[in-house]
Amino acid sequence: MFEFIPPGTRFFPLPSPFPMKRGGALHGARIAYETWGELSPARDNAILILTGLSPDAHAASGPANPEPGWWEPMLGPGKPIDTARWFVICVNSLGSCKGSTGPASPNPATGEPYRLDFPELSVEDGADAAAHVVRGLGIERLACVIGNSMGGMTALAFLLRHPGLARHHINVSGAARALPFSIAIRSLQREAIRLDPNWNHGRYDERRYPESGMRMARKLGVITYRSALEWDGRFGRVRLDSDRRPDDDPFGLEFEVESYLEGHARRFVRRFDPNCYLYLSRSMDWFDLGEYCAGRCGNGEADVRAGLATIPVEKALAIGVHTDILFPLQQQEEIAEGLRAGGADARFLPLDSPQGHDAFLVDIGRFGPAVRGFLDSL
């Protein structure tokens, strides 16, 4: 229903039924993906990219779709993820509305969109679905799995639940578990959507659409994706020109930063299905690698390290930035330390980027060399 599928997207059918971690199963589900570069005869040059909450599979331009992708400066011939060397796959997350099966997709049992009848979604389900795509493309062993943000969680679940399916790993601004500050933010975003009378327990349509709730959720998202430091320099206290301000409303848009949030929200609210947003958001709260502590369980922190230590990976890089308030730097440090405890050659690389959580999308000057350096070393 509210599905937004870029041209050139390809689809891989999941096994039917596809069992879900928290119960239930999907029938006739599919995963949207796109690829770049050529798989080598030895099938040993494949890289999988797992995305954050909102992106589609179109990470970069290519023959199938010449439009720039969401990681355009990072991915292509000669770029940090060099498609002259690597065969790159990017999958759209299970539960999303960008081509993979999710709450906005038709439920084969009824022919109507699943809406809230979609089974509870876990990060692990997304990892399992991605593993099917990889194997389905004839790849027994990825050279590397790269996960950004939520995709960093998915990548860890992928490595843990599919041992041997990837040799190396780059975790970009990811986490091995959700912590209370980010749970609180996401909980509030979901509440904003659910409070919108037009959400109507998931039964909205084009005309009665939870636009206000989505706008609130997106604005709160953008606030936590960037950083105060960046905004001090970028917006300061600059005001809108008077002709861009609503007349006589002391509570209307007045500062540049308010207009920036408004613009971001406007571009998003009708481009992402609200129910899919709720499901993906909650799946992050639930994610906790501490569940896999394998008998060595003590408390939250020890458990997550024990869980990480069960992950078989040869070489790994965990990157983050000082100004990230949503997936703070300590979480990437935790990933590197936990993987190292499991025997991996794992490095933690903090970057001095002012752009907060979103830095990996915009600060290619810092992230590009980090990713390139790691891939060159393989």
Task: Answer for the pair 86, 251: CB distance below 8 angstroms, yes or no.
Answer: no
Q: Alpha-carbon distance 169 to 313, whole Å?
A: 7
Least CB distance from residue 8 to a second copy, whole Å?
33
Would you say 305 is a known binding-site residue? Answer: no
- Smaller CB distance to a second copy: residue 161 or 194? 194
Would you say 218 is a known binding-site residue? Answer: yes
Is residue 357 part of the annotated active site? The answer reads: yes
H-run or E-run covering 319: strand 315-321
The residue behind tokens 């959507």 is 193
Is residue 345 part of the annotated active site? The answer reads: no
What is the distance of C-alpha 364 from the center of its chain?
A: 17
How many residues would you count in the chain? 378
- Smaller CB distance to a second copy: residue 44 or 117? 117
Is residue 243 part of the annotated active site? The answer reads: no
Residue among 40, 119, 47, 102 nearest 76 (CA): 47
Q: Which 8-state DSSP code applies to residue 251?
A: T
- The residue annotated as part of the active site, out of 132, 162, 264, 357, is 357
Name the site residues for a second copy (rule: CB under 8 A): 120, 177-181, 183-185, 187-188, 190-192, 194-195, 197, 212, 215-216, 219-220, 223, 227-228, 231-232, 234-237, 250-251, 254-258, 261, 278, 282, 285, 288, 290, 300, 325, 328
- The residue annotated as part of the active site, out of 285, 324, 353, 363, is 324
Least CB distance from residue 284 to a second copy, whole Å?
12
**First-to-last C-alpha distance (Å) of the chain:** 42
Least CB distance from residue 354 to a second copy, whole Å?
12
Q: Which two tokens stand for residue 76?
A: 């292509």
- Smaller CB distance to a second copy: residue 217 or 339? 217
Q: Which two tokens stand for residue 312?
A: 């078989």
- Smaller CB distance to a second copy: residue 192 or 344? 192
Least CB distance from residue 219 to a second copy, whole Å?
5
Collapse the DSSP code of 8 into the 3-class scheme (helix H, G, I; strand E, B; otherwise coil) and give the result.
coil
- The residue annotated as part of the active site, out of 54, 96, 149, 283, is 149
Residue among 67, 80, 4, 75 nearest 35 (CA): 75
**Residues known to be catalytic:** 149, 324, 357
- Residues belonging to the binding site for substrate are 218, 358
- Residues belonging to the binding site are 218, 358
